[in-house]
Chains A and B, each alone.
Chain A
C-alpha cells in the first residue's frame, strides 16, 4: 500500500457518475499531477481527497487510515486554492496561523512556525499586511505558507498558478519545484496546463471525462501515450496524428501516408512485432511529435531509424528558438519543429527527416495505442 491510496473511488451526483473507479497509489514524497481539460473530474478528485466532497464508492486512505468520513481539518492535509482563498480581514501572519489557532496550537509555537515558513518563502516583511495589499505572486506565497505551516502529510494544490501572468507563472513553477525537492513532501497537484504537469510531476495522471486515461512518469506519458486523447493533450504543439495504412515492406512494416499532392509516402516502422502485424493492410493513425519531424541537420543523432520524405511546405513560423514548419500529411496540417536557422521556405518542397523511433501507432476505432516502441 502506498502513502496516499485512492481505491476504486467513485463520485456520483444522484444517478450521474462524474468520476469512475479511480485507482491511484501515491508513494511518500511523490509529486502527482492530475491533468486534463475542464470538467474531466480532476478537481472533484482533489476535493474528495481534501474532504470537501464526499466519496460515493470506494475508499481514500492516507497512511493506511481510511479518511472517507474524516472531517477535512482532521485529515492532516493542507490545500492551496486557485483563488488563494486568503481571509481578506486578516493580516498575512493571521492568515498563515489561523489553522494552527483552530487546532489549539499555543501562541509561541505558532509564532515560531510562522517565522520559519515566512523565512522559507521570503515573505517575512509582509506579515502585517492585508491580502488586499499584496501582488499576485505574494498572495500565492502566502497561500503556500498557510499550507506549509500546518506540516501536513499531503499537500493539495488546486490550479495554484492559473491566476498569475505568464512570466510569474514560470517563476512560481520553479519555486514550487524547488520547494518539493527541498522538503520532499507528498503533493497532489491539479492543473489543466500540460507543461506544468510535465515540469513539476514525478508522476502524471491524465484525466478525461471522469476516467484516468493514463498514469505514468512524464516521460512515459510523453513518449508512449496510451491513447489518442493523451497523445493530443500532452505536448505543445501537440502530436501530429496522421491517417495511415500499414503495408508490408519486405520483412519490415511501413506506414503508407499521402503527401501534399496526394502522392503516396512510405515510412518504415521501427516496430515489427506480432501485435502490429495484425494491423497489416488496416487503417491506423500514425503519431509523430513535432520534434521527430525535422530537417536533416536537426535530427536526433542517436536515432536508428531516420527516414526522409519530400513534401511541400505550407507555412513557416519562426519562434525565435525554433522554427515551426507546417506541411500537409494524410490530408492534415502537421507541424515540424526545426532549428531557428533551418533553410525552409513556404510553397517549396522540402526534405523532412522523420525519426521513426519515436513514432507511435494508434487504432482509430479503439483510439488506443497499438504497439510499444523499439
Chain B
C-alpha cells in the first residue's frame, strides 16, 4: 500500500524549513551569548581576581568588593548617583507630565512646540555637555550675562562648587531627556478613551479631579516606562559627565560609570573596575529584568 512508502519519504522542504530559521537567527544569538553574556561572565570572573593592568587569573574571592566599598571615591560615586538619579527621574517626570498635560489642551502651535521640546534627544551628550559647560561657566555664561544686564549680585557658579556641581549635571540631563518623557506621556494621554473623560465630567469632576483621579492613574504604564528608561539612563550616565564636568570639581560629580573607567583604564586597577561594573549591572538588572519579564509575559 502507498502508505508505507510515502511515510518514510519526508519532504526535504519541510526539513529545510525546520532548520533554516534557526540557522539565520544563530549569528545574532551567538553574538549575544558571546559578546554580552560571555563578557558579563568574564567580567564577573575578573572581579574575583587580582587583575591590575592586565587580566590575571589568581582567585582572590571578595577582596575587590571589600576594597571597592572601602574606597571613598566609590562611596562618593554611589551617593552622587543616588542624588543625580532621584532628581533626574523626578524632575523629568514632573516636567514631562506637565508639558504633556498642557499640550493636550488643544494648544495652538502644538505642532511647533512638540519638536522644540524633543530635539535635545537627538543630540549627543557630548554636544549637550559642551553647550551647558559654557552656559554654566560663571566667567562667560549665564552669570556673566546677568551681570552685563545689570544684576550685579547674581551668582550662578554651581559648576565650580563642590556642593552644587552635581545639580548642574541634573540640569543638563533634564534638558536633554524631559522632552522625551513628555512624548511618552502625551502618547499615553492620547491613548485614553475620550468617552471616559466625558463621563467623568458629566459625573461633575473638576479639571483637577479629572486629572488626579482619572487621567493620571490611567497613565500608570507610561509612568512605569518613563521610570525604567530614565533610571537605567541615569545609571549608565557617562558621556555627559565627561563633557560637562569631567567628574569634578574634585570628585563632586564622579559617578559609577566614570569611576569604573578611570579605575580600569587609567589607574590600572582592573579588578576593582570590574567589580564596580558588576555592581552597576546588578543595579540595572534589578530595574530591567522584572520590566522585560512583565512585558514579554503580557503578550502570551
Contacts and interface: CB of A to CB of B under 8 A. Distances in A.
Check whether chain A touches chain B (CB < 8 angstroms).
yes
Interface of A: 59, 61, 64-71, 73-74
Contacts of A70: 6, 11, 14
Contacts of A61: 2-3
Q: Report the 8 A-B pairs with minimum CB-CB distance, sorted nearest first.
A: A71-B13, A69-B10, A66-B6, A71-B11, A71-B14, A64-B2, A70-B11, A66-B3
A73 B1 CA distance: 24
A71 B7 CA distance: 13
Given A59-B3, A71-B13, 13 more contacts: A59-B7, A61-B3, A64-B1, A65-B2, A66-B2, A66-B7, A69-B7, A69-B9, A69-B10, A71-B11, A71-B14, A71-B17, A73-B13
A2 B1 CA distance: 14
Contacts of A74: 11, 13
Contacts of A71: 11, 13-14, 17
> Is chain B's binding surface mostly helix, strand, loop or mixed?
helix
Nearest to B8: A69
Contacts of B14: 69-71
Nearest to B17: A71
B136 to A, nearest CB: 53
5 contacts: A59-B7, A64-B1, A65-B2, A66-B2, A71-B11
A68 B1 CA distance: 16
Which among B6, B9, B13 has the greatest number of chain A C-beta atoms within 10 A?
B6
A71 B15 CA distance: 9
Contacts of A66: 2-3, 6-7
A66 B1 CA distance: 10
A134 to B, nearest CB: 30
B141 to A, nearest CB: 54
Contacts of A65: 2, 6
Interface of B: 1-3, 6-7, 9-11, 13-14, 17
A64 B2 CA distance: 7
Contacts of A59: 3, 7
A68 B11 CA distance: 10
Nearest to B3: A66
A66 B5 CA distance: 9
Contacts of B9: 69
Nearest to A72: B14
Contacts of A64: 1-3
Nearest to A70: B11
A70 B17 CA distance: 12
A71 B18 CA distance: 11
A144 B3 CA distance: 31
A51 B7 CA distance: 15
A69 B12 CA distance: 9
A68 B14 CA distance: 11
A66 B7 CA distance: 7
B39 to A, nearest CB: 35
A73 B7 CA distance: 17
Nearest to B14: A71
Contacts of B17: 71
Nearest to A68: B7
Nearest to A74: B11
Contacts of B3: 59, 61, 64, 66
A59 B7 CA distance: 9
A68 B3 CA distance: 10
Contacts of A68: 7
Nearest to B7: A66
A67 B9 CA distance: 10
A69 B2 contact: no
Contacts of B13: 71, 73-74
Which among B1, B7, B11, B17 has the greatest number of chain A C-beta atoms within 10 A?
B11
Nearest to B10: A69
A68 B13 CA distance: 13
A195 B14 CA distance: 38
A67 B5 CA distance: 11
A69 B10 CA distance: 5
A296 B1 CA distance: 60
A69 B11 CA distance: 6
A69 B13 CA distance: 10
B79 to A, nearest CB: 52
A369 B3 CA distance: 37
Contacts of B10: 69
B12 to A, nearest CB: 9
A121 to B, nearest CB: 30
B130 to A, nearest CB: 45
A74 B11 CA distance: 9
A68 B7 CA distance: 8
Nearest to A67: B6
Contacts of A73: 13
Nearest to A64: B2
A68 B4 CA distance: 12
A291 to B, nearest CB: 44
A69 B6 CA distance: 9
A35 B2 CA distance: 31
A231 B2 CA distance: 40
A183 B231 CA distance: 66
Contacts of B2: 61, 64-66
A272 B192 CA distance: 66
B8 to A, nearest CB: 9
Contacts of B1: 64
A311 B14 CA distance: 65
A71 B12 CA distance: 9
Nearest to A61: B3
B11 to A, nearest CB: 5
A131 to B, nearest CB: 26
Which among A61, A67, A68, A74 has the greatest number of chain B C-beta atoms within 10 A?
A68
A73 B11 CA distance: 11
B221 to A, nearest CB: 28
A61 B6 CA distance: 10
A289 B181 CA distance: 63
B10 to A, nearest CB: 4
